[in-house]
Structure 1
Amino acid sequence: MASYSVEERGCPNSLGYRLFFKNDKGQYISPFHDIPIHPDARKGWLSSLFSWVLHSFSSSPDRESSLGQKDVFNMVVEIPRWTNAKMEIATKDPLNPIKQDVKKGKLRYVANVFPHKGYIWNYGAIPQTWEDPEHKDENTGCCGDNDPIDVCEIGSKVCSRGEIIKVKVLGVLALIDESETDWKVIAINTEDPDAAKLNNINDVRTLKPGYLEATVDWFRRYKVPDGKPENQFAFNGEFKDKDFSIKIIGDTHDYWKALVNNKTGGEICCTNTTLPDSPCHCDQTSAGAAVGEAPAYGPADPIPPEVDRWYFYEK
């Protein structure tokens, strides 16, 4: 598996904070576009294009030919478990660094809704995926949320922000967030001690009883302290299995290919440094200039004390 590193810019817990990514050669990359969807994928735009063509002529519904080992994917960790800052890949910024979401000029933190504290999994995204806001999903009847597909990693390790891990996909939850389809993939770090025992969504119920129910509860209620209604779900809040999940991920990978090939995307920034046939490819000089526009790294600002408040809520 390729190794990656991160470079912090700005002051943590501030509006200017950014986390940029580098590959094993120390070159700047986009975590959205340049980290492959699959850990063992061959690098380069031509090999990606070849796999896409191969898939198009393949009768295999699980896309194993184009995605390699069909249930293992790269995950970009945006938010470590138990933390509250809503960090995300900045899809509209050059090189797509991780930054904190902002609402009404203020940094966004998720509330602690009893009995939860912050995020209850390592939360992040699968690179080279995109939930197309122009595509209405046949299962949910809603369009995508314009972001990479989200992952809830349920292993025992608390990961670090910006860490790239290999995850085995187990299932998926279809959150309907403000009339948009927002898939939540359930996965396990392949290095977790329980990874070999977890091979599908029902295994989670056996090995980690209550975790899936807590996940639905968390997503249903996490916006209520902000004055918003409970979120809704497709499939009556039931988790779909691994095979269904892999198909959804494959679909979002196809939408990403169209996006990065400049066929769609709107405000999404597709600047990348490793896909030479992409019209949005840039060299390291340009990439370094984009990073240089961010402020220098400095000491962390204090986290507002209200972030640790606990909310007790019942429908």
Structure 2
Amino acid sequence: MRLLLRSSLRYTSAFLGSHTAFKSELVTQAITSYLIKTMHYQTEERGRPNSSDYRIYFKTSDGKYISPFHDIPLLANGDQENDVPSKKLKKNENEVLYNMVVEVPRWSNAKMEIATKEPLNPIKQDVKKGKLRYVANVFPYKGYIWNYGALPQVCSPGQVIQVKVLGVLAMIDEGETDWKLIAINADDPEAPSLNSIEDVRKSRPGHLEATVDWFRKYKVPDGKPENQFAFNGQFKDKDFAVEVVKSTHEHWRALVQKQTNGGQIDCKNVSVSESPFKCSGEDACNVVRSAPAGGEALPVSPEVDKWHFLSK
């Protein structure tokens, strides 16, 4: 379960669920096998997996290329302005479901994310100082401890699933609030009984504490200090989390309609009404065709599987 807000417009969402662990050494085997199960959306790989030119582009079931950032609706219902299909909304009278794009499968290490500065915003592996980024194994946690992803249209990467938002954690990352939304897959057997942070605390003791502990320590093996949190590291409730989502969605709307300066963020889309960044299907195809052709996966350094034991 995850949702992240970087500065005022980047989300990441981690979600609870009973899912099989992904332990493949090759990121392509972990990522692609997970994304290919999407109901309404397909993915297309370009470049060589485990390389800096590897990209995962999105398209609809009829082959129309789209941006997962801009063209997949935030709400998982059929009443969107966009003409991109979404699953039939599953909800009761008091429940709203959101679409979530999975970036990183649970137990994997590659730091995959939406390329917000590139046309059509494909998923790519983050690079820092010329090197691909991986999350370290900080004992007892193997890679990411949940399926990690993002809500579309809130400015931020994928199997597209429906999730129930349960709460939010406010991490401070380099002086900025980095919101971590806690959500559960609506198809999970336990979803009907999990409706709040307190439900998670009662039914899955230790899970929230492990989440805070992971976010606090995951950068330490890279020589960075422990991360800090707002609200004394306490999770805020569902109502608070939904207000954060709404606020960021409005920021995205202003961005994609060019009512605010998006800086280096690429807003090319194929379906957002009244957006000056809207492009044709042919233009979207040309973006994908210009990316490097696919190829065999490159080997991953043995360092990625190294375990780090941190003292208290």
- TM beyond 0.5: yes
Which of 139, 142, 166 is matched with 1:114 structurally?
Answer: 139
1:162 Cα shift? Answer: 1.1
Residues 26-175 of structure 1: pairs in structure 2 closer than 5 A: 26-44=63-81, 71-130=96-155, 148=156, 162-175=158-171
C-alpha separation between the residues in 2 aligned to 1:224 and 1:91? 26
- Hey, what does 1:226 align to over in structure 2? 222
Tell me the amino acid that sits aligned with residue 214 of structure 2: W
Q: Distance in 2 between matches of 1:22 and 1:70?
A: 28
**Residue 288 of structure 2 corresponds to which residue in structure 1?**
291
What SS does the aligned partner of 2:214 have?
Answer: helix
- Out of 225, 243, 247, the residue aligned to residue 239 of structure 2 is 243
SS at match of 2:213: helix
Structure 1 residues 69 and 28: alpha-carbon distance in aligned structure 2, compared to 1, 3 A threshold: farther
Identity of aligned residues (%): 62
Distance in structure 1 (CA, Å) of the matches to 2:39 and 2:246: 22
The AA in structure 2 aligned to 1:124 is: G
SS in structure 2 at match of 1:19: strand
2:254 is equivalent to residue 258 of structure 1: yes
Assess, with a 3 A threshold, how the Cα gap between structure 1 residues 274 and 69 changes in structure 2: closer, same or farther: farther
CA distance in 1, matches of 2:97, 2:261: 27
* Matched residue, 2:310: 313
Displacement of 1:69 in angstroms is 6.9
The unaligned stretches of length 5 or more in structure 2 are: 1-37, 84-92
Q: Give the TM-score taking structure 2 as reference length.
A: 0.82
**Once the 2 structures are TM-superposed, how far is the Cα of residue 13 of structure 1 from its aligned partner?**
0.6
Partners of 2:213 and 2:247 in 1: CA distance: 27
Q: Separation in 1 of the partners of 2:95 and 2:185?
A: 15
Q: In structure 1, what is the Cα distance between the partners aligned to 2:177 and 2:95?
A: 23
Is residue 45–residue 277 contact of structure 1 (8 Å, CA) maintained in 2? Answer: no
Which amino acid in 2 is paired with 1:184? K
Q: How many aligned residue pairs are there?
A: 266
Q: Is the 8 A contact 1:45 1:278 kept in 2?
A: no
RMSD value, Cα? 1.8
SS of aligned partner of 2:216:
helix
Secondary structure at the aligned position of 2:210 is classed as helix
Per-residue Cα deviation, 1:183-222 (whole angstroms, up to 9, x for no partner): 0000000000110110000111111110100000000010
Unmatched segments (≥5 aa) in structure 1: 47-67, 131-147, 149-160
Could you give the per-residue CA deviations for residues 209-256 of structure 1, whole angstroms, max 9, x where no partner exists?
101000000000100111111100000000001111001100010110
Q: Is the 8 A contact 1:75 1:167 kept in 2?
A: yes
